[in-house]
Amino acid sequence: MTENSYRVYGYRWVVLAVFMFINLTIQMLWIGYAPITGPAAAFYGVSDLQIGLLAMSFMIAFIPLSIPVSWVIDTYGFRLAVSIGAVLMGIFGVTRGLAGANYSLVLWSTFGIAAAQPFLLNAWTKVPARWFAAGERATAVGLVTLSNLVGTALGMVLTPMLIESLPIPTVQLIYGGVAAFSAVLFILLAREMPPTPPCPPGMEGRALMLDGLKHALTVRSFWLYLLVSFIGLGIFNGITTWVENIIRPRGFSPADAGTLGALMLVGGVLGAVVIPPFSDRQRKRQRYLLLGLALAIPGLVGLTFVTSAWLLFVSAFSLGFFLVSTNPIGMQYAAEVTYPTPEGTSNGLIQLFGQASVVFVYVMEALKSRDGAFTPALLLAVGLLIVSVLVATQMKDSKQAV
């Protein structure tokens, strides 16, 4: 092997940027109704739970689609797979905006957008594996996580502001237009792989998808991380889905809900940017997973009980910073402990378990107290986060983290 047989290319940042953009836009489409649950329910003439279903549909659709989509990613490459998802997202994003006050059409369009999501989420580790050196990959996944969070934050903040002057369908049509534009950019600019590999021989090879799937399911540390991911994403999805309902009984407005959600996500953005490079530099994953999970607990406790606006916002920021930082590190951890399982397969299984946490979103609604408070559900979330800390202590770093 000669000195020039492998290298990283500057174009990797272009590929990563357009991939980040479509991940950003699909999150805006996912969360666009959560901070305006009450006004949206009144506009469409439906219940709060039916508005919540618009966000939950993404998790529901993900469950049957995740494994087949991972097969497509690992067999045909991320560029084709993500392009399929991008086109679905663009088409149905625009359709939802054109649906007017017809809730049924909005719901079916949302399921169309939801079907696109696995094509994007399950490629989170595949894109860095194709283009980035091993020592940059957790950072690259962290940047994709950042884009995901920025999209959610924009949906949280912009939607309550925009509906003050625009009808809800017009706001959704704007989001759909942005999604269609991001899809066009990805199709035009993304490339499957660079001219030469970004890493030395032996670090890029992966097993066939079925063999890799069988291998991944024999790795104890991977199963432990799947449980941690299930809990973490369940808590994150539950809070973002019911953000307005959670703080409404304490006298806060939809604008406050948007601010709270945005601060949680800004914290997540910073956590996803700041912490993964330390993990890459030290070639350690488990210690940072454990740290993030443990330090997220105080923020969740604050979100459960505080009635002061500034304390509520600080708690949300802290929760986002530490909880979300575990996601990119965990994705790379899973890719390493399951080696040589394909990245799309391990990533898909994690996303599958995370999206299966939709059951926790339903449980949160079911556990509401008579006055509408989510305190019992949030206390359950605190308990589950403590469990995830205990589970993380049993996880071991892989020798592949080199």
pLDDT digits (tens, 9 = 90+) for 353-391: 776 767 777 788 788 777 777 888 889 999 999 999 999
Let me know if residue 398 belongs to a domain.
no
Let me know if residue 81 belongs to a domain.
yes
The pLDDT of residue 4 is: 53
Let me know if residue 84 belongs to a domain.
yes
The pLDDT of residue 141 is: 76
Let me know if residue 1 belongs to a domain.
no
**247: domain range?**
9-194+203-392
Let me know if residue 147 belongs to a domain.
yes
The DSSP secondary-structure symbol of 285 reads -
What would the pLDDT profile of 292-322 be if each residue is shown by its tens digit? 899 999 999 988 888 788 888 999 999 989 9
Distances (CA, A) of 352 to 61, 88, 384: 10, 20, 19
The pLDDT of residue 334 is: 81
Does residue 191 come out as left (phi exceeding 0), alpha (psi in the -120 to 50 range) or beta? beta
Q: What's 349's domain CATH number?
A: 1.20.1250.20
The b/e string for 183-201 (b: 16+ C-beta within 10 A; e otherwise) is beebbeebbebbeebbbee
Give, for all 402 residues of the chain, the pLDDT tens digit.
444 566 777 888 999 999 999 999 999 998 888 888 888 999 999 988 899 889 888 888 888 888 888 888 888 889 999 999 999 999 999 999 999 899 999 999 999 999 999 999 888 778 888 888 877 776 787 788 778 878 887 887 889 889 889 999 999 999 999 999 999 999 999 998 887 766 655 544 444 445 566 677 777 888 888 888 888 888 888 888 787 778 887 777 777 877 888 888 888 878 878 887 887 777 788 888 888 899 999 999 988 888 788 888 999 999 989 988 887 788 778 878 877 776 666 767 777 777 676 777 778 878 877 777 788 888 999 999 999 999 988 888 776 544
Let me know if residue 54 belongs to a domain.
yes
Domain count within the chain: 1
The DSSP secondary-structure symbol of 165 reads T
Let me know if residue 399 belongs to a domain.
no
